[in-house]
Structure 1
């Protein structure tokens, strides 16, 4: 079989993932570890059995879109605004501290101001994928801890998307801030277009054909990807479009049915995403980036939990809840990987700085997963006492 074919790549990825996932479960390890390690083994820097990681990354990006779409589905607009009002100050102040921390660490290792700013911006955010995947469904939907976690992650996602917009338009910033402001002005147009489409097109179609589950499934996928593409065409990001697509149909009575049926599709793409994370890392640069990457990762793991704890205590959260939320948010985000890719493409940072961001993100994703599953309730917790689906 052609080693460059998509089918062959899928065969290697999912067969290998099934084998490594079995080992991971038998040894009580997070499944995410298996997917990233598999990428390193099969990727260009490993056995080079899969070399077209760019295609897989593009496909895996759909996993992030579906994740944000499903997050939007779980958020009633009124409830979302209420929670964001409470956690906005926590999210904003903590992000500033993390950005300064990342900037200072990068400068200490000799990176220039622009590279240090990008590195600082990349470590501001925590992983939506890790945060949601390691949170039991009962906690996610029915407990205050889940509400706090999701609202902070959503705020960070919005900030990350804004940062991506700035990076995408960085070449135009030489001509002033008007191009960026023009792009941001498209956001209300996107939201209004989505709201009108849902009210006058989607909801009537859902009400008329809700008996046909296959059609509802297709309509949901089409709506998510369609609004993502519209957002991209307006100069925004596809991530914004996916999230808006979810929020705008969150009030639909069919929203939970859509959420349940799209989760397997989301997981399919997320496996590809984590594989591509491991596969895209150039192991030849490991000696050059391992020290700054490890230091940056340790700073994030050590600093993030107490910072979140401090600010959450400041808004009257219980000590135990504040610490658990801080620990669950103690890693870097998958957005850091996108930020590294976009900043490199725009010529803002070099390959070494990009790999420092990637190394720190991978290390924190791995280590944070271990910390959570050994200490808190999760679907893949090490002990039976902590395992909750």
Structure 2
């Protein structure tokens, strides 16, 4: 794609996003809805004004890399140790329940065992973006619900990364017939990558940041360079770039400067959030929806109804109050950005059909939208429609 068409695509995306975001704010709708709708309108299934799928894939890829890097920067183990004891059994039990129920429903609609398993795996996770974005800042930083949600979401992110490693290993082995080697390489590569990153941060990155911390643009460039450098290294040793970005963030998270880096990168994160959700809407194969609409509706209903109930039961079993358990259950009652990523990876590795990928995409988008409305209409959020529920 040449510079002119790239510029024109960005003009359409951000100008259109500004227009639809304005309408969304006037009507008190979640902004992500505007971005997803815009993608559907301008993408290949709409007016075809932005129809370069390779560009859309690169946009989604870069966006996920930076999102995972920022998530890693916010991962402060010392602040989460107290909640991990409760979060771990809830995260594991809920993941098993969501996997089994979703895979079973998918099999009822004729998907083969492998595809049903991939769909089940994609439905295990809740949206970090929705969960954190719709949680008031005061609740996020000073109340128990914020700590519990971060603990659960981080554990889910770790499980999702393990799933991505497995998909990359199994998919790669399908061509070469070397399953053991394909699994062993990333399994050994991940701890080596983590160790190398910690050593590099301690002996190189942090000393450089400490010496030149007066130059904010230098900190900004170092953060981006570190993120993308580790992402590329991760990809080179058989892992994914997304996993590398997450590791890059975690290894810097214990540094006092990590929060400054996170704050300085927030505009970049928001930039890619727009592109990410635009690409979500643009990549949805609307023409293939009628063939899988039954599966999409049933799975979406299952996610929206079953997830809050499961979280209510599991959180209640670890002594959480009923009101808090329901609150968290509905805030986490949707599919995830990782669901989309798992669908993309599985499709690329030949483990999922186009119909299966459309099911994952459609269920993810539908549950993200409906769940956002449920939270905005019933729980305190920064963008609640009711003045009584609006909390910054």
TM-score band, normalised by shorter chain: over 0.9
- The match for 1:296 is 299
CA contact (8 A) 1:41 1:279 kept: yes
Equivalent-residue separation in structure 2 for 1:219 and 1:292 (angstroms): 46
- The match for 2:344 is 341
Structure 1, residues 138-193: CA drift from partner, whole Å, max 9, x if none? Answer: 22222211111111111111111111111111141653434313311111111111
2:271 to 268, 272, 281: 268
Structure 1, residues 83-107: CA drift from partner, whole Å, max 9, x if none? Answer: 3333111111111111111111111
Structure 1 residues 78, 236: closer, same or farther in 2, change over 3 A? farther
3-state SS of paired residue (2:253): coil
Structure 1 residues 195, 38: closer, same or farther in 2, change over 3 A? same
- The match for 1:172 is 173
Q: What does 1:1-389 align with in structure 2 at a 5 Å threshold? A: 5-170=5-170, 171-172=172-173, 174-389=177-392
Equivalent-residue separation in structure 1 for 2:84 and 2:61 (angstroms): 26
Comparing 277-286 and 10-19, the one that deviates more: 277-286
Equivalent-residue separation in structure 2 for 1:345 and 1:220 (angstroms): 30
C-alpha deviation, 1:82, in angstroms: 4.5
C-alpha deviation, 1:242, in angstroms: 1.8
3-state SS of paired residue (2:256): coil
- Unaligned runs of at least 5 residues, structure 2: none
CA contact (8 A) 2:59 2:279 kept: no
Aligned length: 388
Comparing 86-95 and 55-64, the one that deviates more: 55-64
- Unaligned runs of at least 5 residues, structure 1: none
Equivalent-residue separation in structure 1 for 2:59 and 2:134 (angstroms): 23
Equivalent-residue separation in structure 1 for 2:321 and 2:7 (angstroms): 50
Give the RMSD, CA atoms, in angstroms.
Answer: 1.7
Equivalent-residue separation in structure 1 for 2:4 and 2:296 (angstroms): 32
TM-score (ref. length: structure 2): 0.95
C-alpha deviation, 1:3, in angstroms: 10
C-alpha deviation, 1:312, in angstroms: 1.1
Equivalent-residue separation in structure 1 for 2:287 and 2:144 (angstroms): 45
Equivalent-residue separation in structure 2 for 1:67 and 1:349 (angstroms): 25
C-alpha deviation, 1:287, in angstroms: 1.0
Structure 1 residues 57, 221: closer, same or farther in 2, change over 3 A? same
Structure 1 residues 149, 288: closer, same or farther in 2, change over 3 A? same
Structure 1, residues 290-327: CA drift from partner, whole Å, max 9, x if none? Answer: 22111101100000011011111111112121111111
Equivalent-residue separation in structure 2 for 1:190 and 1:322 (angstroms): 37
Structure 1 residues 232, 84: closer, same or farther in 2, change over 3 A? farther
3-state SS of paired residue (1:249): helix
